[in-house]
Amino acid sequence: MPAYIALLRAVNVTGTPLPMTELKSICETLGFTDVKTYIQSGNVLFRSDDKEQAVADLLDDALGEKFGKKPGVMVRSTKEMEEIAQNAPFPDAKPNFLLVHFLNEKAPKNALDGMVAPDDEEAVVADREIYVHYPIGSGKSKLRLPALKAGTSRNLNTVRKLAEMARAMEG
């Protein structure tokens, strides 16, 4: 049974409060097994025989019922998360200053159009992810990139840890 990593959008850090114990319980109610959460920003790992999009929809629907609107759930397989971590551009960037913005669908070809990067931010599009290097940190950045609104982001340290946790689940 494959392991999946689900990344919730707009939960805890800047959005709707959701204790991780409650997220775990919701996932178990949906029939997911070996459920584990990681930090308080809406990261959950689990096993399921269902396909990636099916588990994303199940979890998003369940959270939508709870909150009155769907937060957005991005799901990746163990292999995908490992590749995302390994293929990160900007090798000289501090891992906590390199954010991976996860999208549900492949990024549009014009994803970087209209990017305003006053603090020398750099971005690279890779399938369903957009990597952004924030030289002064994302909290201080004035970056404007409309393509990021549809997704959720995690720094490279978190991406690496989630990949490691998922690999351990799969043995």
pLDDT tens, residue by residue, 59-91: 999 999 988 889 999 999 999 999 999 999 999
Only one residue has tokens 């930090």, namely 39
**What's this model's pTM, rounded to 2 decimal places?**
0.94
Which tokens belong to 95? 């891992």
CATH class as words, domain 3-80: alpha beta
Walk across the sheet containing 3-8 and list its strands: 33-38, 43-47, 3-8, 73-77
Residue 146 in contact with residue 106, Cβ under 8 Å?
no
Residues of the chain with CATH 3.30.70.1280: 3-80
pLDDT above 90: percentage of residues in the chain: 86
